[in-house]
Every structure is written in structure tokens, then in C-alpha cells.
Amino acid sequence: MSNKVEMLKELYPEDLYGFTQKLSEGEVEVLYELRKALEKHLDPIIAESWNKADFPFDEFYKVVEDVHIMNDPRLFEGRDEKYKASEFYIMGLYLELARFDASIATFFTVHGGLGFNTVLLGGNERQIEEFAPKIMSFEWQTCFALTEPDHGSDIAGGLATTAERDGDEWILNGEKRWIGGSDTADIIPVFARDTEDNQVKCFMVRKDAEGYEASPIPDKVSLRPIRNGHISIKNVRVAEEDRLQNINSFKDVARILTFTRADVAHIAMGVTAGAFVGALDYTKKREQFNKPVAGYQLVQEKLARMQSNVVTTLAYSSRIAEMQEEGNAQMLNSSLAKMSNSLHMRETVSLAREVCGGNGITLGSKVARFFADAEAIYTYEGSHEINALIVGRAITGLGAFV
């Protein structure tokens, strides 16, 4: 029996159908090391960080110092690609991160999913060479400034932030909202509409740019440690060389969303697994009427449903990772995966909280965080309704958005 098999049995016993067996030996080694680093640096403080709505930057960066989750050489063995690990590893990475904590997984998807894919898909060769290595090493934090106070689901046609050409520079004006990491990122991809041709373009705003202000949105009840921000952009100047050259319409933005929507499907899968494992552990230890709660028929039925949801979400994530690795990335597929995995996640966190009783709503239980955080995941990267309409359009040939 290989070392990989033994590590996977320890890491993901809930993977009853063995989807993670498709990971390479090197990829599993990195994930195994990541598990140890998460337990060492973040596990002791993550509940407190959630309660205080304060992202644990110091501890997170200790994790990525210990484990190079984006640029470890083992992730690129046998691959021609030098910037992006396999889609299957990305699935495994989100499983590991979201199974631990949804906010940690969300921080990564903003940086290593949305921001990173924006550079890889939108930048020219020079821009990729400048930005990608620093993002991979976490030397530079990035984010993704697309949604606005008045435009979320209708952002494709409603994006209001403007960009006006002025010689070798662009002048940006507008507002963005719900942008994770907007007040701490070193480089901020800002999407704005060119006033000349009315097309959406992307501009890499540098940290501390004059006219750029971001403040965290307070009083959230989900993903509390994530610093979702409201951005004000007033006459921010960006050099033409910092305009991502391969983003010249919203169709180019949609290519990014195809990949990142799959990433959120993976996060929903990881949260499903984490909630189930937390509930299983609790019910096996918690005793009522002189025996573990897990020994009662009604509880076992709920645990079985949760286990079923884990396998279902893993199946969706595994298949979409394979398709994207093959070069078959389609909005329909990522929307279907995000929609389905989020629905199964929502049911699972509810059942997990239920079997944990009153203790399921306290931070002493991991289940409580999963229960609250699932609501944000259910909505971001396209609400259930938007993803359903994308699928509906594809299967009927009829658009029903307006």
C-alpha cells in the first residue's frame, strides 16, 4: 500500500468513493503538510478570530511560510504549466481549507482564485511574469474588485465604475462593494467601463494609490473574519501598462468567473465535509440516556444523509476539475456544480447543527461556524438563482434573466 493511500485515509475518511485518489503523490504530500500547519498555527485561534471578526493574518502567513500551497515544486512535477497547479490539486486544496474553515478558504479563493486567475487569463506575458510569482509566494496579496453597491447579479450590463483614457494613463471613478481583502491587498484588479467604447476592462491598482479608499463592512453574521470592503475610487490614475491587456469586454471577465465559480463549488464541497466530520465527531462523544447520541436511529439517518451529500459534492467537484484540466471549462458546468454543491452544503450544515443540539450554535463547536458561513457561500460567486438561470438558459435555449 502506497504512502499516498495511507495519507488519504487519514486526511479524508469521508471520501468513501475515493475521488481524492486521483491526486498525485506530491499533491497529497503538500495537502498532508498543510493539514499539520493548519492544526499548528490556526486551529488554536480560528474560533476567536471568527468571534472578533478579525482575520488571523499572522497565523495564516505562518501556514503559507511552512507550506508553499501555490508554488511547491511537487505541484508541477510532470506538468508543462509553471504558474498553475492541476485543477485536481486545486479541488483538493479547497477541500482541505474549507473542511477546516470557510473563511480561510474564502481568503484563499479571493487571492489564489479570483485575483490570480484574473492575472493569468487577463494579463499579457510581461504582466503575468510580474504579478504571478509574487501572488504564488504570497509576497503580494491580491483581490478582485468587480461587484458594486448597486450592481451584483446584473454586473455584466450594469457595471458603473468608469475608466477614461488620458494619454498613457487611465482615470478611474466609481465604487465597489463586498470586495474581500480590499483594504489590505497590494494589487487590486479593478473592473471599469471604458467611457470611449463602453467595454469592461481591468486595471491593476497599486496599494496606497491616491484616490483609492477601502473600509471593511461591519456587522456581518457570516464569514466574519473576511474583510469584505466598500471601495471608493476617485480619480485614481493607472498606467496603461497596468491595464490587463487581455480583458477587453465582459466576455473576458466571464472566462475568469467560469473557473472561480468552480472554485466556490469546491468550497461548498469542503464545508459539507467539514460540517459532517464535525457533527460525526460530536455525536460519537456526546452521551444522552447513557449512550452516545450517534447510537440512535434518528441521528444515524441524518449522519447518513450528510455522508451522502459529501460524496455527491465530491463527485461534482472531481468531475468539473477533470473537465477543466482537459481544457473543457464551460460556464454551464461550473454554474451547475456551484448550484448543486451549495444546495447540498446548506442541507448538511443544517443537519449538522441539528444533531449537535444547543451546542451546535456555540463556537465551542466547529459546526456553528460552518452553519453561519454557509449562507455567504450559498450567495457569492453567483446566487442560487443566477446559477439556476444559467443552467436553465443552456437546457431550454431561452434566457430568463430579465
In this structure, is residue 123 part of a structural domain? yes
Task: Check whether residue 389 and residue 259 sit in a common domain.
Answer: yes
What's the pTM value of the predicted model, to 2 decimals?
0.96
pLDDT at 295: 96
What is the band of 307 on the pLDDT scale with cuts at 50, 70, 90? Answer: very high
Across residues 199-206, what is the average pLDDT? 97
In this structure, is residue 43 part of a structural domain? yes
Nearest-angstrom CA–CA distance, 351 and 355: 6
Task: Check whether residue 226 and residue 319 sit in a common domain.
Answer: no
Q: 324-357: per-residue pLDDT in tens?
A: 999 998 999 999 999 999 999 999 999 999 999 9
Question: Between β-strands 212-216 and 200-206, what pairing exists: parallel, antiparallel or unpaired?
Answer: unpaired
- Which of the listed residues 242, 266, 292 is the one where a domain comes to its end? 242
What CATH number did the domain enclosing 342 receive? 1.20.140.10
Task: Check whether residue 255 and residue 372 sit in a common domain.
Answer: yes
In this structure, is residue 228 part of a structural domain? yes
Task: Check whether residue 271 and residue 392 sit in a common domain.
Answer: yes
Which residues share a beta bridge with 341? none
The torsion angles phi and psi of 229, rounded to 5 degrees, stand at -125, 160
Mean of pLDDT over the chain: 96
Nearest-angstrom CA–CA distance, 210 and 5: 53
Q: Contact, 373 vs 102, CB < 8 A?
A: yes
Nearest-angstrom CA–CA distance, 296 and 306: 16
- Which of the listed residues 200, 218, 242 is the one where a domain comes to its end? 242
Task: Check whether residue 201 and residue 94 sit in a common domain.
Answer: no
Position 229: which residue type?
A: G
Nearest-angstrom CA–CA distance, 128 and 136: 11
The torsion angles phi and psi of 216, rounded to 5 degrees, stand at -65, 145
Q: 233-265: per-residue pLDDT in tens?
A: 999 999 999 999 999 999 999 999 998 999 999
Nearest-angstrom CA–CA distance, 387 and 265: 11
Task: Check whether residue 304 and residue 261 sit in a common domain.
Answer: yes
Task: Check whether residue 175 and residue 306 sit in a common domain.
Answer: no
Task: Check whether residue 237 and residue 255 sit in a common domain.
Answer: no
Domain count of the chain?
3
* Residue 179 parent element (H or E): strand 169-180
In this structure, is residue 341 part of a structural domain? yes
- Structural domain span for residue 96: 3-136
Q: Contact, 135 vs 116, CB < 8 A?
A: yes
What is the band of 2 on the pLDDT scale with cuts at 50, 70, 90? Answer: low
Task: Check whether residue 387 and residue 254 sit in a common domain.
Answer: yes
The torsion angles phi and psi of 389, rounded to 5 degrees, stand at -70, -30
DSSP 88-148: HHHHHHHHHHHHH-HHHHHHHIIIIIIIHHHHHHH--HHHHHHHHHHHHTTSS-B--B--B
In this structure, is residue 282 part of a structural domain? yes
In this structure, is residue 25 part of a structural domain? yes
Across residues 149-164, what is the average pLDDT? 91
Sign for the pseudo-dihedral over CA of 53, 54, 60, 62: negative
Across residues 82-97, what is the average pLDDT? 97
Q: 367-385: per-residue pLDDT in tens?
A: 999 999 999 999 998 889 9
Name the DSSP class of 173: E
Nearest-angstrom CA–CA distance, 24 and 130: 29
The torsion angles phi and psi of 35, rounded to 5 degrees, stand at -55, -45
Q: 260-287: per-residue pLDDT in tens?
A: 999 999 999 999 999 999 999 999 999 9
In this structure, is residue 146 part of a structural domain? no
pLDDT above 60 (res 215): yes
- Which of the listed residues 71, 101, 136 is the one where a domain comes to its end? 136
- 3 state SS of 29: helix
Which burial class, exposed, middle or buried, applies to 58 when counting CB atoms under 10 A from its CB (0-12, 13-18, 19+)? Answer: exposed
Q: Which residue has the cell 469542503?
A: 270
What CATH number did the domain enclosing 21 receive? 1.10.540.10
pLDDT at 107: 97
pLDDT at 168: 97
Task: Check whether residue 254 and residue 389 sit in a common domain.
Answer: yes
Nearest-angstrom CA–CA distance, 29 and 132: 23
Q: 110-136: per-residue pLDDT in tens?
A: 999 999 999 999 999 999 999 999 999
Task: Check whether residue 9 and residue 129 sit in a common domain.
Answer: yes
pLDDT above 50 (res 1): no
Task: Check whether residue 213 and residue 256 sit in a common domain.
Answer: no
In this structure, is residue 147 part of a structural domain? no
Q: 41-67: per-residue pLDDT in tens?
A: 999 999 999 999 999 999 999 999 999
Across residues 312-334, what is the average pLDDT? 95
